[in-house]
Amino acid sequence: MAVSSDGYIRFFFPEIQNISIGHLISGIDQDAPLEISDGAHPTSITGYTEWVNQDVSNAGITIGWDWQMSAIGGLTELSRISGPRSNVMLQSSNGKDVGYEQTSELLGAYIDNVNWQTIVLSHIVECY
């Protein structure tokens, strides 16, 4: 895998199953102050995370996404709330780009099978 002149790293979707990504950084979004009013306002904690490939022999794959924190049944959980941002462009079996939307969908499915929530939550608790 190599970086193309347009900045993308291109490969076929099955190859992503062989790529190991690791946590690089995560943070909490800084919300603008709410206007003061009479009564409570619902709020949420949101943030971002960035992951990179762990195999130094491959080009620098980077995948990032936004998340939201919620408390369900006394447990704190994180859920992905955006499509991934990445320098990856997936290709079909004939070697043509599948496009941004399909790449985003497939990378999203890949992310959803990674145990990222525990790692990001641990990082957030440690840093904040």
DSSP single-letter state for residue 83:
-
Is 83 part of a structural domain of the chain? yes
- Helix, strand or coil, per DSSP, at residue 19: coil
Is 85 part of a structural domain of the chain? yes
Is 121 part of a structural domain of the chain? yes
Please report the pLDDT score of residue 56 as a whole number.
Answer: 61
Is 1 part of a structural domain of the chain? no
User: 110 to each of 28, 36, 84, 107, how far by Cα in Å?
Assistant: 23, 42, 10, 5
Contact yes or no for 80/65 (Cβ under 8 A): yes
Residue pLDDT, tens place only, 86-99: 999 999 999 999 99
Is 102 part of a structural domain of the chain? yes
Q: How many domains does the chain have?
A: 1
The residue with tokens 């193309």 is 4
What domain range includes position 114? 9-29+45-127
Please give the backbone phi and psi of residue 79, each rounded to the nearest 5 degrees, phi first: -135, 145
Residue pLDDT, tens place only, 15-63: 888 888 999 999 999 875 556 666 666 668 999 999 999 776 666 899 9
Is 15 part of a structural domain of the chain? yes
Is 40 part of a structural domain of the chain? no
Please report the pLDDT score of residue 119 as a whole number.
Answer: 97
The CATH number covering residue 70 comes to 3.10.450.610
pTM for this model (two decimals): 0.85
Is 3 part of a structural domain of the chain? no
